[in-house]
Structure 1
Amino acid sequence: MKALTWHGTADVRIDTVADPVIQGPTDVIIKVTSTGLCGSDLHLYQVFGPFLEEGDILGHEPMGIIVETGPDVTAVQPGDRVVVPFNVSCGTCFMCVRGLHSQCETTQVREHGMGASLFGYTKLYGQVPGGQAEYLRVPFGNTLPIKVPDGPPDDRFVYLSDVLPTAWQAVQYADVPPGGSLAVLGLGPIGDMCTRIAAHLGADTVIGIDLVPERLERAARHGVRAVELDGDGVVATVQDMTDGRGPDAVIDAVGLEAHGAPLAAGAQKLTGLLPGPMAAALMRRYGVDRLSALHLAIELVRRGGTISLSGVYGGMADPMPLLTLFDKQIQLRMGQANVWRWVDDLLPLVRDGDPLGVEDFATHRLPLADAPHAYAMFQKKQDCAVKVLFTP
């Protein structure tokens, strides 16, 4: 089959690789019909190379049709249409039954002290082959795939794999009071969807902050109060929108590759030039992130407010302004999305209507063969790219 594979920093290619096969009695094989390009994939493209091996298959936002099942699979059958969550979670362990699928005890990567395995996401998360491919092996066939109805286009459902549950969890963790205010830093796919969900759930003032004019314009079309990031001026602007206090909550949907922080950016690039084992050891003990977005969130949020982190951070030596966090009495919540925890909330919103605008959420729909170009385009924020879907 054809699949997108990692070959080095900013070097991904379409290769011919072996087809996946049933390995366990509850495995299923799906023929991928749509698969997304995630902002987290860009971390693999630029930063997390020390934890990848040449030939690793990327991608963690697939959906498709089941073509083969293991002998113990009873919940789905060949021909069923399913979405695959990015968490590889069993659904039955201590963590999963408590809605913490990203901490699944069955698939935790204990060798590296990490949580549940993820599709297509480095040795730290199990080195499980990903979904930017023609076919995908999915374990836990009775509990992991999300069965969706035939008929509506893939765009209606594919975001259940990551975008929708990640944004929904971010908004839930932000805990915006009814009629309250929320600022979202970063209007990529997750940040954009956070603004839509927050408005849908009753936030009165939703503010979106970004550097890219096209992303600001896109958010504004959905009723978001769009604010261009312009240094110190953004804080005063947001305070003016929120009675001088700052928003009740801030979502950081940017993460470790935030704009600015040239020293941290330089350290990330330097680490990428080191031999793999040396770079991995350095990142695990002394890695730093570009914290511009997080520091801005701390500055923006009102006293007694909440910061919700959905952007991925990977540093082990990040300096944090604990005095400010303590003095402002800020609550901080974060973590990988627990996909299945939110399916019952989200499935009616995409099955029975389209209040979140998922059918026109993608800015680009491309054949999988164009994936290397799409990675470069998305990383450079070219051609108004916000969300890219591939068709294998």
Structure 2
Amino acid sequence: MGATRGHLPLIPAQDGWRVGVLFSESGTTVVTETEHLRGTELAIAEINAAGGVLGRPIVPTVYDPGARNADYLAFARRMLAEDDLDIIFGCSMSASRKTVLPIVERHNGLLFYPSMYEGFEYCENVFYCGATVNQTCLPLADYLIRNYGGRVYFVGCDYIFPRESNRIMQELIEARGGEVVGETYVPLDAGEDAVSALIPKIRTAAPDVVFSTLVGTTAQAFYRLYDAAGFDRTRHPVASLTMAETEIATIGRAACTGHILAATYMQTVDNAENARFVAAFKARFGADATTSIWSEAAYMQVHLFARALARVGSADPRRIALDPLGDEFDTPEGRVRVDVDTRHLWLTPRIGIATGEGLFDIVWESRVAVRPDPYLAATRIEESALDAWI
């Protein structure tokens, strides 16, 4: 099977390197996962236009799980057991990753996972290509207390990423002398009534900052309601690890100015690789399209795979799982390196404030790439950066 979607050409599967692509084009997380899909599509198209890998194109088989965990599992099983695929680029939320891991391990496949996540995981069948909590939460905790104050209200969707990220962030805030003045969770698919109930709780608690691990349509509703409630975002912003450029465009730029993002990529990163990436992305998806951490990480991990494939000369997942360890190369977010010990990436942490153009003014940036620390052994960003390699 060589099914494709979007702008990718249909190529006979037997003529290329076959891979699976498992991102949602519908459901709660449609905006962010469509970005994953676009980044994946652009990378594959670029590689194929340049002659493929060792003269053979990458041929994707694409399924839409609709943000339903049961469908992630079903499609992952189909890819590995029926479609005879070994490599999958997919999953966005931790819940979907956790759902497919057992089937990936059982079939000895290899999952490239592009999202920032809560950490505390290691699997030899996964490359974790998004940021770990030390690359996002550590600098964010310092920045919030230094610039806004230590009273923080936590809101999140009720699943593993928000719960764990909020637990970690709470420890970091309290270790720095701050306090958590409230913590509320809503279902992932919460309606507007459930989300609107957060606003009076926040107003009563009067925090300096709201730390949000809401995602998808629930997060979009919350940002609109926060704007409508009239909070002064220059003094009391919402800080997040996930609310990037494309979702700002969906919410409305005017409703998001002043809010904070801690991430390793923003469209405004200033380097030659990113300028080329942004131009290629807009050429393919339209002049109004914005890149984001969602599209960039998905784009970067396909190139990571292609580099390994060119060296190995085989799509054997056991060999591809080992080859990239220690590999380093330039990407739109800067130079990255695959950590030999953790299978995560050395990345450059950044903090941005949303502007009226729907982009981010980068107000803080690590001077070095930071070692991934998925088990959060270090409690200060300086400790993670001590082993800097660039």
Output the TM-score relative to the length of structure 1.
0.31
Q: Which has the higher helix share?
A: 2
Output the TM-score relative to the length of structure 2.
0.31
